[in-house]
């Protein structure tokens, strides 16, 4: 055969299958030792928790939350050993907080350990075994015995607590004990360097804060365990891992086995042709075009008309195809043209119909998206997320990621894949009949909060409208909601200093909403479960699903009363008209709840109404007896008395007696004294509030139309007079036929 002629080989099916399997196995073996995981894929089964390490609120806590100083240690490791000598890359986010700002000491470390069964020493050793572990330490206390540069540094430890290299984090503008989330990246390339990056931002800095030339071969076994270690050094430090990603490169594979020939896995390419030989049988009357010396191979997934005869010739050199009759060719061509034309016409019709349907659907979606986009246009920073991004961030909205429930929505903890930033994703429940209302509430929340900027308001990061769902993305608050922190019996009592700062923060946020916005905002659902706490226990008021905007000085429209029993002002429950005063009443209930450690409506003691109980103690000159006993008397009595009186005056049954939120801010800060609070709780009076009385009279017909009877005396009547309604309200609204359960929603 001339050299220019290509030989064509064939492979039997069993041999073809065997070749493919061997090729895939060889490729898989090359990457078998590579490890890759992140926090979203970690479970309790893949973690090894030792010492004081435990899981809390979707974070890894390495040390216990104890109000008294201790010296203990904890360790969390990936349960399976990994190969590290080829290099590794890891990134994580952590926080170091303390219940007592003057009590610091210890720190945490990324650790490489020879086993997953032991915890190192506490105190200054950060839970490390100095003789066996390799670590990158984040030290919060200067230990002269180890030659530490200061009490805020990062160092590389190789079988010793004396770091081979260290860097002052003050130069990077990072304070480990600030309570803020710290992001770290560690990259190790064998024979080159170990680079450590540290930042408050989820975006890696361009330059490392520490770069050390190290070789782990003399300190680490072929397989070792990776994770984190921490200790308290006579302090109340709390060390939490919020996010973790880890990967090792694929080891260099040996000389790869020869892959199967192309002909074994795909139709053979066209042959390299000898220009002197015909490439295909020539049809009578048809002059073939000039053929180049080499014909490029067609795609492996198709067989061209030119290559098909060539394959036939190669498979059976003894047979030469005979040209078909010209009539048959013409008939076949005509029939083919008719079929092709019919198919093309049908395809064009189908495509046109599909395009029209898509356009119609796109217009419908665009209309809904425009509603959301127009609301978000008010904002300067919120971005639009894709549904795919948020689904990946929440592991497909997995139930294990649920961190709370808001108005018409479930809140998930999420980790944005491209940045590693932690977020809270609020997802509309879309519950059948309430679907339209839920969408309206979410649009309300987006349009309101997108334009608000205050340090004590929960920040909106972005939004998404896809697949008929609306999702809102907020800053993630590591300490959850205020009500969980207050009433979690398994955690230490929230110190009074934090409680007072929380109340001052919420008051400042409400003053901003009522008086400092271009259009005043009535929140309508101020309660402890809607107050979120960041890593420093700073209050962030959220959940604007029930909020309403109005021009300053304008009379609010009446709506169905919405909110939570115990926080609702009596006039709001009857008129449906929310004002600044109704928010002030809710804030008063919140103040008493935080100071007393009791819910506004509960079963504790002889009185299940918190406001009435505190007011009765005030009348007996024993108001401090209402203070939360879990505080153990650790508070300033003068400040506590002031706070309780602010709570009572804000909870007055008469709206006109309640102070404005600007005045409340001054009272809580000590800049102004609270007004006189009578010993007996006043009854409701409308003599000085004719507008409210008119509102009540206007509301009577609405209640009668619904068949509601608000007093026992009128239960047999089809109508209710304004005088009987006023009489009911003079009693404080307690005869109103509303069911009240602890914390239940009146919706």
Which positions are annotated as active-site residues? 525
551 alpha carbon, distance to own chain's centre: 34
DSSP characters for 267-310?
Answer: PPPPPPPPTTS-SSPPPTT-PPPP--S--PPPPTT---TTHHHH
Task: Name residue, tokens 């994703």.
Answer: 425
**Both tokens of residue 383?**
């971005």
Q: Of 615, 631, 625, 628, which is closest to residue 679 (Cα–Cα)?
A: 615
* Residue 384 to residue 382: CA distance in whole angstroms: 7
The number of beta carbons lying within 10 Å of the beta carbon of residue 435 is 14
Query: Cα separation of 613 and 598, whole Å?
Result: 11
Of 505, 692, 482, the closest CA to residue 594 belongs to 482
User: Rounded distance, CA 689 to CA 569, Å?
Assistant: 15
The distance from CA 371 to its chain's CA centroid, rounded to whole angstroms, is 24
Query: Whose structure tokens read 């649009």?
Result: 443
How far apart CA 580 and CA 539 sit, in angstroms, is 20
Backbone angles phi, psi at 339, to 5 degrees: -60, -45
* 426 carries a ligand binding annotation: yes
User: Which residues fall within 8 angstroms of residue 271, CB to CB, at 6 or more apart?
Assistant: 5, 6, 8, 279, 295, 310, 314
Residue 133 in contact with residue 112, Cβ under 8 Å? yes
Q: Would you say how long the chain is, in residues?
A: 747
What are residue 424's phi and psi, to 5 degrees?
A: -110, 125
Residue by residue, DSSP assigns 613-638 as HHHHHHHTT-GGGGS-GGGTT-S-HH
Write out the binding residues.
426
Write out the binding residues for ATP.
426
């Amino acid at each position: 055969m001339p050299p220019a002629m290509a030989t064509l080989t064939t492979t039997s099916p069993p041999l073809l299958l065997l070749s493919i399997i061997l090729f895939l196995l060889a490729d898989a073996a090359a990457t078998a030792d590579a490890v890759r995981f992140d926090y979203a894929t970690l479970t309790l089964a893949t973690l090894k928790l030792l010492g004081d390490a435990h899981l809390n609120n979707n974070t890894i806590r390495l040390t216990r939350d104890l109000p008294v100083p201790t010296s203990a240690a904890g360790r969390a490791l990936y349960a399976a050993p990994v190969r590290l000598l080829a290099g590794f890359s890891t990134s994580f986010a952590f926080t170091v907080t303390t219940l007592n700002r003057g009590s610091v000491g210890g720190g945490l470390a990324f650790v490489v350990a020879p086993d997953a069964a032991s915890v190192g020493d506490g105190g200054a050793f950060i839970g490390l075994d100095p003789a066996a572990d390799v670590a990158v330490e984040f030290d919060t206390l200067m230990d002269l015995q180890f030659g530490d540069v200061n009490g805020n540094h990062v160092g590389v430890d190789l079988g010793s607590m004396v770091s081979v290299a260290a860097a002052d984090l003050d130069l990077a503008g990072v304070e480990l004990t600030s309570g803020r989330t710290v992001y770290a990246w560690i990259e190790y390339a064998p024979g080159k360097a170990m680079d450590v990056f540290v930042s408050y931002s989820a975006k890696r800095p361009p330059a490392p804060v520490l770069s050390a030339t190290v070789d782990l071969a003399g300190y680490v076994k072929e397989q070792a365990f990776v994770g984190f270690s921490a200790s308290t050094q006579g302090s109340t430090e709390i060390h939490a891992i919020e996010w973790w990603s880890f990967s090792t490169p694929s080891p260099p594979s040996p000389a790869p086995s020869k892959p199967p020939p192309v002909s074994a896995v795909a139709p053979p390419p066209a042959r390299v042709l000898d220009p002197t030989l015909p490439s295909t049988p020539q049809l009578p009357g048809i002059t073939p075009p000039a053929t180049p010396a080499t014909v490029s191979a067609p795609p492996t997934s198709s067989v061209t008309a030119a290559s098909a005869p060539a394959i036939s010739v190669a498979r059976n050199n003894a047979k030469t195809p005979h040209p078909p009759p010209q009539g048959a060719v013409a008939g076949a061509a005509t029939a083919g043209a008719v079929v092709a034309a019919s198919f093309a016409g049908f395809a064009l019709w189908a495509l046109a119909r599909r395009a029209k349907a898509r356009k119609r659907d796109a217009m419908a979606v665009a209309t809904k998206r425009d509603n959301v986009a127009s609301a978000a246009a008010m904002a300067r920073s919120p971005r639009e997320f894709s549904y795919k991004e948020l689904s990946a961030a929440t592991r497909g909205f997995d139930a294990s990621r649920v961190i709370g429930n808001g108005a018409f929505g479930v809140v998930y903890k999420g980790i944005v894949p491209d940045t590693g930033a932690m977020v809270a994703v609020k997802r509309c429940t879309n519950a059948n009949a309430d679907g339209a209302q839920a969408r309206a509430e979410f649009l309300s929340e987006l349009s309101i909060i997108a334009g608000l900027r205050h340090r004590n308001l929960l920040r909106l990061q972005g939004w998404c409208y896809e697949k008929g769902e609306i999702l809102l993305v907020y800053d993630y608050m590591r300490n959850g909601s205020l009500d969980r922190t207050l009433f979690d019996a398994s955690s230490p009592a929230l110190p009074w200093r934090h409680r007072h700062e929380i109340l001052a923060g919420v008051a400042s946020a409400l003053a901003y909403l009522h008086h400092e916005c271009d259009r005043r905002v009535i929140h309508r659902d101020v309660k402890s479960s809607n107050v979120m706490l960041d890593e420093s226990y700073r209050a962030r008021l959220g959940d604007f699903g029930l909020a309403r905007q109005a021009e300053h000085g304008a009379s609010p429209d009446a709506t169905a009363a919405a909110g939570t029993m115990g926080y609702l002002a009596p006039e709001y429950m009857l008129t449906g008209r929310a004002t600044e005063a109704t928010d002030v009443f809710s804030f008063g209930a919140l103040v008493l709840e935080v100071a007393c450690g009791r819910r506004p409506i509960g079963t504790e003691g002889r009185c299940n109404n918190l406001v009435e109980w505190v007011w009765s103690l005030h009348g007996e000159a024993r108001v401090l007896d209402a203070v939360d006993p879990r505080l153990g008397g650790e508070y300033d009595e003068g400040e506590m008395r002031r706070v309780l009186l602010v709570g009572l005056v804000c909870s007055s049954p008469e709206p006109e007696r309640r102070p404005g939120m600007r005045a409340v801010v001054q009272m809580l800060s000590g800049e102004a004294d609270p007004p006189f609070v009578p010993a007996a709780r006043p009854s409701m009076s409308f003599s000085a509030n004719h507008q409210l009385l008119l509102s009540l009279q206007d509301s009577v017909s609405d209640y009668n139309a619904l068949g509601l009877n608000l007093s026992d005396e009128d239960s047999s009547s089809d109508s209710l007079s304004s005088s009987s309604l006023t009489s009911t309200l003079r009693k404080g609204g307690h005869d109103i036929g509303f069911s009240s359960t602890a914390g239940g929603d009146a919706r």
